[in-house]
Amino acid sequence: MASPPPGILVVGAGQAAVSLVTHLRELGDDSPVTVVGDEARPPYERPPLSKAHLHPASGPAVPLPLLTPQRWRDLDVHLLTGTTVTGLTRGDGGAGGVATTTAGPLPFGRLALVTGAEARRLDVPGSDLPGVVTLRSVEDADALAARLRPGATHLDDTDGPGGPRGLDVVVVGGGFIGLEVAATARDLGHRVTVVEVTDRLLGRAVTPQLSGFFALAHDRRGVRVLLGRRVVSLESAGPTSGRPSSVGTVVLDDGERLTADVVVTGVGARPRTALATALGLEVAAGGVVVDEHAVASDGSTVAAGDCALGPNPFSRGLGGPLRLESVAHAVDQARVAAATLAGRPEAYRAVPWFWSYQFDLHLQISGLPHGADRVVVRGDPATEAFSLLAFRDGLLVAAECVGRPADHVAVKRGLEKGLTADPDAVADADVPLRRLLRPA
């Protein structure tokens, strides 16, 4: 194949890549751009994979492309799908270089790493059995959707008074993806157990108060939640099951054995940093180290999204740079990387925000609730429409909002403007939150 002329090489074809190339063109940079992704299809939306993609009521399971083919042409970006970058070599003096790929060598003048992250594997005996799945790509989601299809029943079951039962689904990991899959599987009529090794759900991301709410919400909807329990092995179903080689049992550290037709592992993600390491870039705490302009340690490569570890103006007091995993962060940091490449650098200043749908619950988070020393409840959690406002050193640092989008918007905009609020005043849910915000 003919190689495009040296320009900007974007390694990775996810949300960050799309944000980067789109903003690059918005800034008037007309450099040749090549985007290389190892998946066979163009970049697509990943959030629905753990929700709508698994649920037939949402329509055919077709991934939503982030850009149409015409839009790629309008951007004048060369997109290479189904192509893996296996190596990167810098040119003399560190200027430009060549990428070794499965489609041949690709010369480049400037480099952007938006390689994302890959699902961590459950490292226990039996984790390679059929029926044990992770969820990161559309292929993963398709495989899981096929197993969770409506009407799928437990193969060892005989029809009781209520007829055949649904599947026994065990979700290992109580993070967002695990809980979203658990909610979807339960909505499809399956029996679901969530096993979380720590003492609370969503422990890395939210306040203890919100963890407790979601544990109760799942329990009320029929999901069994096991906290502080560790999976030690997975066992096959056995010769009498009709699926002898597939997973059949999850063994916990206290000896409890959980029947399982499907095991979904959601035990976190590992940033893809092998290329950065081989290139000699600084990698720390699992991410490619970048500055506030998304520039890596060599002073020329940019990196953004799930693979990058960088400063965040909202992480003060939390121990240094952060690696955030969210669509919003990938979009915002990639825009900063694009500005750097276009010669119009701007510092990363975006307010972190996130959302999750579980059952009929819509969660929105703005800011970083980590390390909060006071959490104020606004509204009544029993109504499943409330907000948790997190304060650190007397300043408002985050809002966790369930069914209260106006609170989410008010706090996000307030944090962008450097505003705070009086912790003693914000509990009154009858007063619009935007009226209670004031300069810090």
Q: Are 9 and 112 in contact (CB under 8 A)?
A: yes
Confidence of residue 63 (pLDDT cuts 50, 70, 90): confident
- Strand pairing category for 374-380 and 269-271: unpaired
Mean pLDDT of 5-11: 89
Question: Are 201 and 259 contained in the same domain?
Answer: yes
Question: Are 136 and 254 contained in the same domain?
Answer: yes
| H helix count then E strand count, the chain | 8, 28
Q: Say whether pLDDT at 196 is over 70.
A: yes
Confidence of residue 159 (pLDDT cuts 50, 70, 90): very low
Q: CA 275 to CA 84: how far, in whole Å?
A: 11
Q: What's the number of CA atoms in the CB half-sphere (13 Å) around residue 11?
A: 28
Is there a domain that residue 307 lies in? yes
321: helix, coil or strand? coil
Is there a domain that residue 354 lies in? no
Question: Are 141 and 241 contained in the same domain?
Answer: yes
Domain count, the chain: 3
User: What's the CATH number where 108 sits?
Assistant: 3.50.50.60
At residue 34, φ and ψ (nearest 5 deg) are -120, 130
Mean pLDDT of 326-350: 97
Q: Which tokens sit at 198?
A: 């720590």
Q: CA 84 to CA 89: how far, in whole Å?
A: 15
Which range of 192-196, 317-321, 368-372 scores highest in mean pLDDT? It is: 192-196
Is there a domain that residue 217 lies in? yes
pLDDT of 28: 97
Question: Are 171 and 252 contained in the same domain?
Answer: yes
Q: Say whether pLDDT at 216 is over 70.
A: yes
Q: CA 103 to CA 101: how far, in whole Å?
A: 5
Query: What integer best gives the mean pLDDT of the chain?
Result: 93
Question: Are 140 and 226 contained in the same domain?
Answer: yes
Q: CA 62 to CA 359: how far, in whole Å?
A: 21
Confidence of residue 160 (pLDDT cuts 50, 70, 90): very low
Task: Look at residues 290, 336, 330, 312 and name the one whose alpha carbon lies nearest to residue 115.
Answer: 330
Alpha helices in 12-68 (DSSP H): 15-26
Last residue of a domain, one of 341, 375, 396: 341
Last residue of a domain, one of 233, 265, 297: 265
Domain housing 413:
360-439
Read off the pTM: 0.93
Is there a domain that residue 171 lies in? yes
Task: Could you list the beta-strand ranges (E) of 165-209.
Answer: 168-172, 191-196
Is there a domain that residue 147 lies in? yes
Last residue of a domain, one of 265, 288, 313: 265
